[in-house]
């Protein structure tokens, strides 16, 4: 299994480590150019700054090819800025996006006082044990259409959701020692 990790910015190396920890047959590839999307079985879009990431995706000719991957049913997992890139609607913004998931998101949604924080999240889909989630200038999901399954909330706010083979997390599962979220991505993407 070969999973591409978009390597324009963000913690792509940490994502690669997590994915590799999920199985011996798991290979990863850093993606910076359209040709590197060829042959991948899935793609991870890390955090970063979604406006910058969108600009870079256009500059590197990646926006359209990644959108086509998603349209073809190739599994894509976006974290934080990656979640924003996946959304159809970004509140108050016309910034470039893939627009693959039927979700509406709010950027930098936890306010200045709490730019970064950690908390234990209940994510029943990955098991009973709470997941230590790291939020960094995180977005949240304002609303989802019926095709989208909500997997976790922080208070009222939706922070983890899935639509078929597309998965989106407002937090950074690559920054903890817990590979359950990455494993969930791989399992739901390839074992159903
Ligand atoms: N605040 C960033 C944005 O709007 C996302 C932050 C992150 O990816 N850690 O793009």
- Ligand 1, closest atom to CA 47? 8
For residue 128, indicate whether it is catalytic. no
Residues 58-77 have pLDDT tens digits of 999 999 999 999 999 999 99
Report helix, strand or coil for 53: helix
Q: Which atom of ligand 1 is nearest to the CA of 53?
A: 10
Domain count, the chain: 1
pLDDT tens, position by position, 134-187: 999 999 999 999 999 999 999 999 999 999 999 999 999 999 999 999 999 999
**How high is the pLDDT of residue 113?**
59
Q: What is the pLDDT of residue 18?
A: 97
What CATH number should be reported for the domain holding residue 173? Answer: 3.40.50.880
d(CA 120, CA 141): 18
Contact (Cβ atoms closer than 8 angstroms) between residue 48 and residue 84: no
Distance 57 CA to ligand 1 centre (A): 15
Atom from ligand 1 closest to the CA of residue 52:
10
Give the pLDDT score at 115: 83
Q: Where are the beta strands (DSSP E) in the chain?
A: 2-6, 27-31, 42-45, 76-79, 87-90, 101-106, 116-121, 131-136, 140-144, 149-154, 157-163, 166-169
Q: Is the pTM of this model over 0.85?
A: yes
The tokens describing 21, both together, are 């920890």
Ligand 1 pocket test, pick from 81, 117, 134, 173 with the greatest ligand atom count within 8 Å of Cβ, gives 81
What whole-number percentage of the chain has pLDDT above 70? 98
CA distance 68 to 156: 33
Nearest CA to ligand 1 atom 2: 49
Q: Give the C-alpha separation, 68 to 143, whole Å.
A: 24
Full residue range of the structural domain in which residue 78 is found = 2-190
Residues with a CB atom less than 6 Å from ligand 1: 47-50, 80-81, 84, 107-108, 136-137, 139
Q: Across the chain, which distance is largest between two alpha carbons, in Å? A: 43
For residue 47, the CA-to-ligand 1 centroid distance in Å is: 6
Q: Which two tokens stand for residue 25?
A: 């047959």
Establish whether 174 is a catalytic residue. Answer: yes
Q: Which residue has the higher pLDDT, 161 or 188?
A: 161
Does 93 or 115 have the greater pLDDT score?
93
Whether residue 172 lies in the annotated active site: yes
Distance CA 132, CA 189 (A): 23
How far out from the chain centre does Cα 7 lie? 13
């Amino acid at each position: 299994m070969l999973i591409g990790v978009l390597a324009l910015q963000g913690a792509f190396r940490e994502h690669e480590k997590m994915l590799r920890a999920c199985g011996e047959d798991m290979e990863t590839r850093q993606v910076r150019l359209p040709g590197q999307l060829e042959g991948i079985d899935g793609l991870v879009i890390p955090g970063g700054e979604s406006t910058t990431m969108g600009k870079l995706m256009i500059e590197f000719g990646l926006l359209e090819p990644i959108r086509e991957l998603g349209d073809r049913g190739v599994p894509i997992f976006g974290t934080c800025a990656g979640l924003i890139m996946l959304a159809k609607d970004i509140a108050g913004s016309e910034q470039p996006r893939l627009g693959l998931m039927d979700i509406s998101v709010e950027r930098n949604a936890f306010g200045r006082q709490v730019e970064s924080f950690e908390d234990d999240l209940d994510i029943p889909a990955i098991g009973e044990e709470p997941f230590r989630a790291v939020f960094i200038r995180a977005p949240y999901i304002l609303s989802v259409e019926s095709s989208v399954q909500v997997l976790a909330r922080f208070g009222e706010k939706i922070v983890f959701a899935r639509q078929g083979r597309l998965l989106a997390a407002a937090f950074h599962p690559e920054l903890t020692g817990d590979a359950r979220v990455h494993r969930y991505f791989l399992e739901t993407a390839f074992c159903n």
